[in-house]
Structure 1
Amino acid sequence: MTENIQKKEKLIAIYGASGFGRELAWLIESCAKRGMNYNIICFIDDDEKKHGTHLNNIPVLSLKDAKKRYPQATVVGGIGNPKIREKLMNKAADQGFVFETIIHPDTESSQWLEISEGSVICAGNTLTTNITLGHHVQINLDCTIGHDVIMGDYTTLAPGVHISGWVHFGKRVYVGTGAVIINGTEEAPLTIGDDAVIGAGACVTKSVPPLETWGGVPAKPLKKR
């Protein structure tokens, strides 16, 4: 006789009671409606004024209170800014939290993906083949990612970004809404350096050095940070 074994519910805390944090809550609730065994138990936020309040019917707690009340919960980063998200995820790890990876079921992809913990892939994305995502990568709504793309830890894509094949991202890269990045080659991948920012609507046709902000069509350097 076959036994019906119910999957254990995953308790999830979203670190960051922000705009993207609320969108992430919606995403996780959408995943739960599609059969994933998720339960959002709280937002975590460092702003003391928010502690004890509710955001879209979800309680907001401090990091220490969240760990005390829900020691078995996993954390997902609810902040779009890569540097701030890195700081918060390090704080959560110091408190003993582990991290959940969220992939919306409307994502189209091959089996040839490597996705590290803490990453978030929102609804409507297409990832083709031989793609590597680092820790805590965020891919917002309706992006496309081509073959042999590598994204370093905390890389963040805003909605509607399109990336062709053989593009390699460093860490903490931010790509604005609607940006397009053309392909590199196997011998010479197009690279986007650590902490670079690509402006909304930009068309990137060549490699971007670390710490620079590029924008326009074709994209050119705007400033170095």
Structure 2
Amino acid sequence: MSGSLYAVYGASGCGRGIMPLARNQLRKIGVEADRLVFIDDGAGPDRVNGHRVVTYADFFALPACERHVVLAIADGAVRERLAARCTADGIRPWTVAAENVVVMDDVHVGEGAALSPFVTLTSNIRIGRYFHANLYSYVEHDCVIGEFVTFAPGVKCNGNIVIEDHAYIGAGAVIKQGRPGQPLVIGRGAVVGMGAVVTRNVPAGATVVGNPARVREKI
């Protein structure tokens, strides 16, 4: 029987940033680079940065004793749909993390995470499945983060914060520290704009921008 097969789902910008981390992670456990591919169902080249690009159907058809995938898709709703599809087909979620990610005390990260270089997770943190933390993001102490949450580069998530499922936090956003027993809450599906400074709770589904961050009215 063939060995395990690994994939980065998505051959665009996010996937190209995750692929070197995935390759290095596998190299350390003796997995050959040809057992790692991109999955992408869009039209494009057959190879990207030295790795084959295959469709989902082709990946599923390739001989393997096990299949593992990291979902390199920034949109949490799309990640959720792909995760359900992969689970139904017996493809295992794979967490990929840069070598220099810092993880301190009592931190739990759910399956399928993608942790980019210079990410820091300090202490007493709970993070759900399929979390994306991009370059130079951090999560401080006593935070609870839901499933399919995305941090763009440089997000500053300070202590005692709750971020609910499917929230998207834009590049360089700063979230003010909450209080023990009174965390600052970013609601389900909320979007925090690039460079926003969040000083109060954000309602579910809202988009906030600016300093201090305010709800952007729909046009």
Q: TM-score, normalised by structure 2?
A: 0.91
For 2:142, the equivalent position in structure 1 comes to: 148
Question: In the alignment, which of 96, 118, 121 is matched to residue 124 of structure 1?
Answer: 118
**Segments ≥4 residues shifted beyond 6 Å:** none
For 2:41, the equivalent position in structure 1 comes to: 46
Could you tell me the percent identity over the aligned residues?
A: 32
- Structure 2: 5+ residue runs without aligned partners? none
For 2:57, the equivalent position in structure 1 comes to: 64
Supply the AA of the counterpart residue of 1:41. Answer: L
For 1:105, the equivalent position in structure 2 comes to: 99
Supply the AA of the counterpart residue of 2:92. Answer: V
Q: TM-score, normalised by structure 1?
A: 0.88
d(CA) in 1 for partners of 2:89 and 2:67? Answer: 12
d(CA) in 2 for partners of 1:176 and 1:113? Answer: 23
For 2:200, the equivalent position in structure 1 comes to: 206
> What is the root-mean-square deviation of aligned Cα atoms in Å?
1.9
Residue 80 of structure 2 corresponds to residue 80 of structure 1? no
- Compute the displacement of 1:94 (Å): 2.0
Conservation of the 8 A alpha-carbon contact between 1:102 and 1:121: yes
Supply the AA of the counterpart residue of 2:48. Answer: L
d(CA) in 2 for partners of 1:120 and 1:145? Answer: 14
- Compute the displacement of 1:31 (Å): 3.6
- Compute the displacement of 1:108 (Å): 1.4
Q: Deviations over 1:188-222 (max 9, x none)?
A: 11111111000010000001011100010000001
Conservation of the 8 A alpha-carbon contact between 2:21 and 2:97: no
d(CA) in 1 for partners of 2:108 and 2:155? Answer: 20
d(CA) in 2 for partners of 1:19 and 1:188? Answer: 37
Q: How many residues align?
A: 214
User: SS at the partner of 1:118?
Assistant: coil
User: SS at the partner of 2:108?
Assistant: strand
For 1:170, the equivalent position in structure 2 comes to: 164
User: SS at the partner of 2:6?
Assistant: strand
User: SS at the partner of 1:90?
Assistant: helix
d(CA) in 2 for partners of 1:46 and 1:206? Answer: 40
- Compute the displacement of 1:109 (Å): 1.9
- Structure 1: 5+ residue runs without aligned partners? 1-8
